[in-house]
Amino acid sequence: MGALAGYPPVKRYLGPLFVLTFSIALLGASVLLTQSAQDDDFFGDYYGALIALNLIGVAILALLTFFQVRKLVSAFRTRALGSRLTLRFVTTFAVLAIIPLAMVYYFAVQFLSRSIDSWFDTQIEQALDDALLLGRSTLETIKLDLVRQARISARRIETTNTSSQLYNLMDNLREAGGYDEMSLHSSTGRILASSSNLSISLIPDAPNEEVLGKVRRDKLYAEFEPATDIGLRLRVAVPVSGLSVSSPDRVLQILYPLPLRYSQLGESVESASREYERLKYLRQPLTLSFVLSLTLITAMTLLIAVWASIYLAQRMLAPLRDLAEGTRAVSHGDYEKTLPVHGSDELGVLVNSFNTMTREVGIAQQRAVESQRQAEAEHAYLDTVLTHLSAGVLSFDNDHHLQTFNAAAAAILETDLSAFTQQSIDTLAQALTGSSALIQAIKEGMDQNRSGWQKEIRIHNDTGRHTLICSGTRIDEGEDTVHVIVFEDATELLKAQRDAAWGEVARRLAHEIKNPLTPIQLSAERIRRKYLESLAGEDKETLDRSTRTIVQQVEAMKTMVNAFSEYARPAPLHRLATDINQLITDTVDLFNANETQAKVVTELAPITRKIWVDPNAIRQVLNNLIINARDASADQGGVVKIHAELDSTRDQLRVTVSDNGPGFSADNIERVFEPYVTSKEKGTGLGLAICRRIIEEHNGAIRATNSPAGGATVIISLPAPPE
């Protein structure tokens, strides 16, 4: 069922105009059908055609109504917008039209049947028969009286001898009887004598052969016939005998005018009787005709009412349907929907208000969308900034519940913080036991409700100890308060600062110590050569031991100075595509050649990639680590294990060097790679520091840990991109 509002004005009213014109034409045909039942000639000529025309018209109306009803039912089944309300209105209108129309039709049929039946009441029929019989009896009495008078006149004429007597007698008889004309004729119809008071008739009205024949046969002719001017007259003819037996018979004819009143009454009775007989003959067809006409008109009226109810319901509900469609469009975000205004009534005002509302809502929505777009852009920019920040960012609400965080915060805390969103800081503290110092500092800062604070905090997690620079800021947003916490892992920065400081110390120490070493060694050797042979006994032994000690210590000092120099001024790397397993094997073979030392065991997984490293630098790292491991595990029957494998998912080479010694002390495990940190009595504390520097120059990482079964483990990670 299409909405009428969407049609052009001409097309919108084309259907109703057609139905209205067609209904008027069909109504005219129904009127003609009703009139035809009262006209015999018209009834016989056009009744069938009118019936067919009316039936076709009703069928067309029924078809139009059927299409409308089918469209309405189809829209209802598909749950089209406004179909339920339209169907309800149509049903209401149809019921309001059908019930009164059905009652009128029923009582009209009953009234029509009883009215037609009342026309043929037996008393009326008997009255008409009696009136007709009375009229006929009266006429018969008049006729018999005139026949008697005619026979008396005929006997008097029989005795008349002369013509003059005959004429006088006929005039007297005519005037006495009140006849129009009295004439005497021969048996063949020739006029013998006449008397008439009709001035317009010069020649008497002669009897025809029918009259003469009946007189010869029956000796009498008496019949009513129309008068020449108006009314009826009675023609009576009787035979008149001759004066002698041989004389031929004559015929006396009398024309008696029936009184006009008698004629009118008789004609009226005859006409009423004929009409009654005609109606009696047409009783059933007439009843059927009227009932059929009434049925067709009722059906036509009913169909027009149903069609009109559908049309009017569509017209009346069009604004409501448009409003429903507009509301649905607005609910889907279409704020440019403009509804057509059907009039200036209350519905028109409502539609205008809706259009104004959607226009204003559309403007507000555009502003909201623009504001949202700006907010999203700012939020995206902020997310981008937070994502790429190296510092961790956390935000808490006034109830100390975690609201937001960035990736750096999760990385520093080594925890997936998404599971703790909207959780309290106490819940976070229970999960982050290694970062309890940071959580405690944040909690204290928020509890003190200061506008800003900053602390240096040390935490310990799976990757070791970290030094964090943490600062907090309170942001007041009306009644809400947001605490923003920013913390940055300064471990590498502090380590770099320490490395730089130790490098500078090493450089200066190497410079300050190296300068006097050579003169000291040369002086000791010169003294030895000059005085050793000249001395004897205990003095010689003392000089020999003293000079040898000086030279040995100078050599040790030179070794330490060289280590300082190497740490302070690292040599440039010369990277080559290296078979790392072969490099490890070659290095281990040198150590395993000395059977008195701890044995070095390798567990090397197949590594198909060549690793771009400086072989000499990596060999130096392996040497330092193996030496430290052998020294640490010498008292436990040392065993050193080297494990190498390739993590292809991360494109990373991992080399692990472990021993079965006592492991790293708890105090030094976080500082073993710092300069001058050593557990050896004679160590310089620069070996592991140099190892870390070499690995970091290869863009790798190195860390130390203690094995659960005992012993120290050093893990090296180097990048191994595919070739």
Residue extents of the structural domains in the chain = 4-119+282-330, 146-273, 389-489, 495-568, 576-719
Name, of 43-57, 312-326, 578-592, the range with top average pLDDT.
578-592
Cβ partners under 8 Å of residue 181, min gap 6: 174, 194, 195, 196, 197, 198, 201, 204, 205, 253, 254, 255
> What mean pLDDT is predicted for residues 714-721?
90
Q: Strands, DSSP E only, in 548-630?
A: 576-578, 599-604, 611-613
What pLDDT is stored for residue 109 in this prediction?
A: 72
- Facing residues of 435 across strands? none
**Residues 390/411, Cβ–Cβ less than 8 Å:** no
Report the candidate in 628, 600, 608, 604 with the shortest Cα–Cα distance to residue 691: 628
Q: Are the C-beta atoms of residues 702 and 665 closer than 8 Å to each other?
A: no
- Whether 172 shows a pLDDT value over 50: the answer reads yes
Q: Helix 260-281 to helix 122-158 angle, to the nearest 10 degrees?
A: 140
Taking 50 as the threshold, does the pLDDT of residue 6 lie above it? no
pLDDT tier for residue 328 given thresholds of 50, 70 and 90? confident
At 715 the pLDDT is 92
pLDDT at 534: 75
Query: What pLDDT shows up at residue 504?
Result: 64
Judged by average pLDDT, the poorest of 117-131, 440-454, 659-673 is 117-131
| Percentage with pLDDT > 90 across the chain | 2
> Over the range 678-699, which residues count as b (16 or more CB within 10 Å of their CB) and which as e?
beeeeebbbbbbbbbbbbbebe
Decide whether 389-489 matches 576-719 in CATH topology: no
User: Greatest CA span in the chain, whole angstroms?
Assistant: 243
Cα distance between residue 166 and residue 193, in whole Å: 8
pLDDT tens digits for range 599-612: 888 898 888 888 89
Tally of CA atoms within 13 A in the half-sphere of 446 that contains its CB: 24
Instruction: Please report which confidence band the pLDDT of residue 155 belongs to, taking 50, 70 and 90 as the band edges.
Output: confident
Name the band, by pLDDT with cuts 50, 70 and 90, for residue 241: confident
Residues 6+ apart with CB under 8 A from 445: 453, 455, 472, 483, 485
Q: Is residue 2 over pLDDT 50?
A: no
Six token digits for residue 527: 């003294």
Nearest-5° Cα angle at 152, 149 to 158? 140
Tell me the backbone φ, ψ of residue 509, rounded to 5 degrees: -60, -45
Fold of 576-719: Heat Shock Protein 90 (3.30.565)
Q: What are the pLDDT digits (tens) for 420-439?
A: 888 888 888 777 777 777 78
Decide: pTM greater than 0.75.
no
Query: Which has the minimum average pLDDT: 274-288, 389-403, 704-718?
Result: 274-288
352 to 313, 348, 684: CA distances (angstroms): 21, 6, 93
Instruction: Give dist(CA 520, CA 83) in Å, integer.
Output: 114
- The tokens describing 559, both together, are 């070794």
Query: Dihedral through CA 127, CA 129, CA 133, CA 136, nearest 10?
Result: 110
pLDDT > 60? residue 246: no
Once rounded to an integer, what is the mean pLDDT over residues 559-584? 76
Q: Which two tokens stand for residue 431?
A: 């999960």
Q: Which two tokens stand for residue 656?
A: 């692990």
pLDDT of 656 above 90: yes
Output the CA torsion sign for 398, 404, 410, 416: positive
* H-run or E-run covering 452: strand 452-461
Distance (Å, whole) CA 531 – CA 539 = 10
Give the range with max mean pLDDT: 67-71, 420-424, 562-566, 618-622.
618-622
**What is the reported pLDDT for 538?**
79
Q: Does the pLDDT at position 313 exceed 90?
A: no
Least confident of 20-34, 68-82, 310-324, 706-720: 20-34
Write down the CATH number for the domain with range 389-489. Answer: 3.30.450.20
Three-state secondary structure readout of 70-132: HHHHHHHHCCCCCHHHHHHHHHHHHHHHHHHHHHHHHHHHHHHHHHHHHHCCHHHHHHHHHHH
| 655 pLDDT higher than 90 | yes
Per-residue pLDDT at 645 = 92
**Mean pLDDT value of segment 482-486:** 85
Contact in structure between 714 and 657 (CB atoms under 8 Å): yes
Average pLDDT, the chain: 75
The reported pLDDT for the residue numbered 30 is 57
Query: pLDDT class for 3, splitting at 50, 70, 90?
Result: very low
Tokens (6 digits) for 350: 């409502």
Contact 700, 710 (CB under 8 A): no
Question: Regarding the domain with residue range 146-273, which homologous superfamily does it belong to in the CATH classification?
Answer: PAS domain (3.30.450.20)
Asked if residues 83 and 311 have their Cβ atoms less than 8 Å apart, the reply is: no
Average pLDDT over residues 312-341: 72
Average pLDDT, integer, range 675-693: 73
Higher pLDDT, 29 or 359: 359
Closest CA to 238 of 136, 179, 157: 157
In the predicted model, what is the mean pLDDT of residues 654-658?
92
Exposed / middle / buried, residue 650 (Cβ in 10 Å: 0-12, 13-18, 19+)? exposed
Between 470 and 29, residue with greater pLDDT: 470
Per the model's pLDDT, the better-predicted residue between 15 and 143 turns out to be 143
Name which residue leads in pLDDT, 649 or 263.
649
Which amino acid is residue 562, in one-letter code? N
Is residue 206 within 8 Å of 191, Cβ to Cβ? yes
Question: Does the pLDDT of residue 659 top 50, yes or no?
Answer: yes
Contacts by 134-137, CB closer than 8 A, 24 or more apart: 135/265, 135/266, 135/269, 135/270
Q: What tokens appear for 696 in the block?
A: 């970091």
Query: What does each C-alpha distance from 487 to 433, 441, 455, 458, 673 come to in angstroms?
Result: 17, 11, 9, 11, 25
pLDDT for the residue numbered 716: 92
Nearest Cα to 516, choosing from 570, 561, 568, 547? Answer: 561
Residue 37 pLDDT level (bands cut at 50, 70, 90): low
Residue 340 pLDDT > 50, yes or no?
Answer: yes
Q: Out of 105-114, 181-190, 484-493, which region has the weakest mean confidence (pLDDT)?
A: 105-114
Three-point CA angle 107, 108, 113, nearest 5°: 100
Residue with tokens 């006997």, as numbered in its chain:
155
DSSP string, 612-625: EE-HHHHHHHHHHH
Higher pLDDT, residue 477 or 179: 179
